[in-house]
Amino acid sequence: MIYADYNGSAPLLPSVKDYLKKRFDSDLFANPNAIHSMGQKITLGIEKCREVVANVVGCYPDQILFNSGSSEGISHILFSCLEYAQKNKNIIVTSSIEHAVIPAALKFYEERRGFIIKKVDVDKDGVVKIDSFNKMIAEFGPSIALVTIMAANNETGVIQPYKELSKICETHKILFFSDTTQLIGKEEFNFNESGLDFAVCSGHKIGALTGSGFLIAKNSTLLKSHIFGSHQEKGLRGGTQHYLGIETLAVALDDFMNSKEKLLPLYEARKNFENELKKQYPLTQIIGDKSKRLAGTSLISYPGIHGQAIQIELESHNIFVTTSAACSDNQPETSQVLMAMGIQDDVGRGVIRLSISYHQGVEVYQEILKAMSAAIKKLERIKAY
């Protein structure tokens, strides 16, 4: 079996599984907010995890706020920046390729709070256009409440120029949030060097437990409580902490830090796989292949053959892929992200997304290539009838 949907959700890392097996036998389960010694041990554990996570993502421990994952982190950041925006700041700048959480939230702030949304376009390679971003900043600068542009795209894997955008925002004193869900734990990332004001992470994207995650805030006084409760997470996020999830975040990120040397071979293996596929089937298109992409992500289209047909063929070989983002996998249409890149339907409907991890070993690409090749050959034959 080959699981090739890591951008949708990563299986638990072997190191996380080992940790949990031992952890379940420990009998250390208690409310971290209790003052008895068991509760306090758990609190100490959470603070240790905060240090480990901060060390891997390049920030200070007190800049990290644990939560349930990116959707919550994004909602919290937007709530803090927009509900509490100064009256003269009524513009939000975003891009046309954000994950569904962002446009859904922005629709609310547009319709219910009167914000005006400005979208920066991407080029045909899936990269946000810096020129049009600069123009927007020049035109609306003082009225911008927040810029929210992702760091790496979940469908194409294309890495965005978030550091450059961040510098521009810093110069103009504009708050900048970049959705780092697909970047953290997959690529080198240093929050404080990036200049970002906010970033997010979802545990299940990096091999930790689902329902765990964190946000990072350069200045945590900008955050406002959006889940009421007791005084957890410095009063900024009510609810008993998901301490097992938090512990797995630290294990997974520590694992990533010690495995970075495996990224380069993954890049190489992907390149060889894509080249070989294009050699065998010259009509094959790799979306965003001119851009820097996440190491294990390929968005592949074979025009004229529907992505779902290839997906089903691959599944018959026990290879699990998606046709776009996992949350819109049942929509047989060209995705918004691909439309923003100017991709036509014959290519856009033909895509399948492979997203794998260095933990699987790069040999999986050989098996995927064999199965892809057999699938295309079969589907081309069927189409010819």
Interaction site with ligand PLP (CB under 6 A): 69-71, 99, 101, 150, 154, 179, 181-182, 202, 204
Cβ distance 269 to 365 under 8 Å? Answer: yes
Q: How far is the CB of 99 from ligand PLP (least distance, A)?
A: 3
**154, 260, 267, 270: which is closest to 204 by C-alpha?**
154
Q: Which two structure tokens, joined as six digits, stand for 319?
A: 């290879």
Which lies closer to ligand PLP via its Cβ, residue 58 or residue 103?
A: 103
Which lies closer to ligand PLP via its Cβ, residue 182 or residue 220?
A: 182
Cα(300)–Cα(38) distance, integer angstroms: 51
Which lies closer to ligand PLP via its Cβ, residue 101 or residue 159?
A: 101
Cα torsion angle, 166, 170, 171, 175, sign: positive
Q: Cα angle at 384 between 378 and 385, to 5 degrees?
A: 100
Cβ distance 149 to 94 under 8 Å? Answer: yes
Q: What do you get for the CA distance between the two ends of the chain, in Å?
A: 31
Which lies closer to ligand PLP via its Cβ, residue 43 or residue 291?
A: 291
Which lies closer to ligand PLP via its Cβ, residue 89 or residue 204?
A: 204
Which lies closer to ligand PLP via its Cβ, residue 70 or residue 241?
A: 70
Q: How far is the CB of 384 from ligand PLP (least distance, A)?
A: 37
Q: How far is the CB of 289 from ligand PLP (least distance, A)?
A: 20
Q: How far is the CB of 8 from ligand PLP (least distance, A)?
A: 7
Which lies closer to ligand PLP via its Cβ, residue 45 or residue 203?
A: 203
Cα torsion angle, 272, 340, 99, 306, sign: negative
Helical (H) or strand (E) element with 249: helix 243-257
Q: How far is the CB of 114 from ligand PLP (least distance, A)?
A: 25
Q: How far is the CB of 150 from ligand PLP (least distance, A)?
A: 6
Cα(357)–Cα(299) distance, integer angstroms: 15
Cβ distance 383 to 305 under 8 Å? Answer: yes
Residues whose CB falls within 8 Å of the CB of residue 302, separated by 6 or more in sequence, listed in order: 281, 283, 284, 285, 310, 350, 376, 379
Q: How far is the CB of 64 from ligand PLP (least distance, A)?
A: 17
- Give 7's DSSP letter: T
Cα(239)–Cα(380) distance, integer angstroms: 54
Q: How far is the CB of 206 from ligand PLP (least distance, A)?
A: 10
Which lies closer to ligand PLP via its Cβ, residue 101 or residue 368?
A: 101
Q: How far is the CB of 367 from ligand PLP (least distance, A)?
A: 25
Which lies closer to ligand PLP via its Cβ, residue 46 or residue 209?
A: 209
Cα(155)–Cα(112) distance, integer angstroms: 29
